[in-house]
Chains A and B, each alone.
Chain A
Amino acid sequence: AQSVTQLGSHVSVSEGALVLLRCNYSSSVPPYLFWYVQYPNQGLQLLLKYTTGATLVKGINGFEAEFKKSETSFHLTKPSAHMSDAAEYFCAVSDKIAGGYQKVTFGTGTKLQVIP
């Protein structure tokens, strides 16, 4: 089974500062990795995903993540935090289960606080 570990359940950054949310994964097969964001009282929205190809993937709202196989990491970054980035962020890996269907395994989430 695959798994993801998110370091830091809460991260605080100043507005305009770099955002770095850490994610490490464990996988016995080439991983397919995702970052989801959850704004208060809303559902899970896909920020970006890595499947194959370029290891630096760009997502919505200025976020990007780099897949590093040697470090088994998929950290999420944004050069300059905005107040609207305050949300909970989930790293996830997609597993293939019996019958060939997808199952998403989520990390525990990191709540991002942006300080004015």
Chain B
Amino acid sequence: EPEVTQTPSHQVTQMGQEVILRCVPISNHLYFYWYRQILGQKVEFLVSFYNNEISEKSEIFDDQFSVERPDGSNFTLKIRSTKLEDSAMYFCASSEEGQRNTEAFFGQGTRLTVV
């Protein structure tokens, strides 16, 4: 069964360092998303991406964050200068269409720990 894969599963980084979280969406999907879940809190929408551009971003997704689809398969989330409060589980998701009733398939997540 096709699935969204994320690497690494766990990343520890020092405050102020740049991190890149990687995702391989399902191959025929056209819509890509990043969500995050701070420990003990709800899963929150960060950004959606379609046709090589951001279609929507939340207030969390400030200038420290960027997304890119560097090639035909990968979808990355970059945090330029990490802060302690960026520690969270980051989920990548993809969907075949962007309609509300379309299922978004989620990856297993990358746990980011900023020390």
Question: What is the interface of chain A, defined by CB distance below 8 A to chain B?
Answer: 32, 34, 36, 41-46, 49, 51-52, 90, 94-109
**B: number of interface residues (CB 8 Å):** 29
Q: Which residue of A lies closest to B10 (CB)?
A: A41
Instruction: Name the distance in Å between B23's Cβ and chain A's nearest Cβ.
Output: 11
> Is B104 an interface position by the 8 A CB rule?
yes
Of the listed stretches B12-20, B62-70, B80-88, B105-113, name the one at the interface; the rest are far from the partner chain.
B105-113
A43/B108 contact (C-beta < 8 A), A101-B50, A102-B48 known? yes
Q: How far is the CA of A49 from the CA of B4 in the complex (A)?
A: 19
Known interface pairs A43-B91, A44-B91. Does A103 touch B103 (Cβ–Cβ under 8 Å)? no
30 contacts between A and B (CB under 8 A): A32-B100, A34-B103, A41-B108, A42-B108, A43-B107, A43-B108, A43-B109, A44-B43, A44-B91, A44-B93, A44-B106, A51-B101, A52-B101, A90-B42, A94-B101, A95-B100, A96-B100, A98-B55, A99-B50, A101-B31, A101-B98, A102-B95, A102-B98, A102-B100, A103-B33, A103-B45, A103-B56, A105-B45, A106-B35, A108-B42
For B42, give the chain A residue with the smallest CB separation.
A108
Q: Please name the residue on chain A nearest to B103 by beta carbon.
A: A46
On whether the beta carbons of B99 and A102 are closer than 8 Å, the reply is: yes
Q: In the complex, what's the smallest C-beta–C-beta distance from B98 to chain A, in angstroms? A: 4
Please indicate the chain B residues that have their CB under 8 angstroms from the CB of A105 in the complex: 45
B102 CB to nearest chain A CB (Å): 6
- Minimum C-beta distance from B58 to chain A (A): 8
**Min C-beta distance of B88 to chain A, whole Å:** 13
The 8 closest A-B pairs by CB, nearest first: A43-B108, A51-B101, A44-B106, A106-B43, A101-B98, A94-B100, A97-B56, A99-B55
How far is B91's CA from A93's CA once the two chains are assembled, in angstroms?
Answer: 17
Which residue of the partner chain, among B6, B48, B101, B109, contacts A103 with CB atoms under 8 Å?
Answer: B48
Task: With A45-B106, A102-B98 given, name 8 new contacts (CB 8 A).
Answer: A32-B101, A36-B106, A43-B4, A43-B91, A52-B101, A94-B101, A102-B31, A108-B42
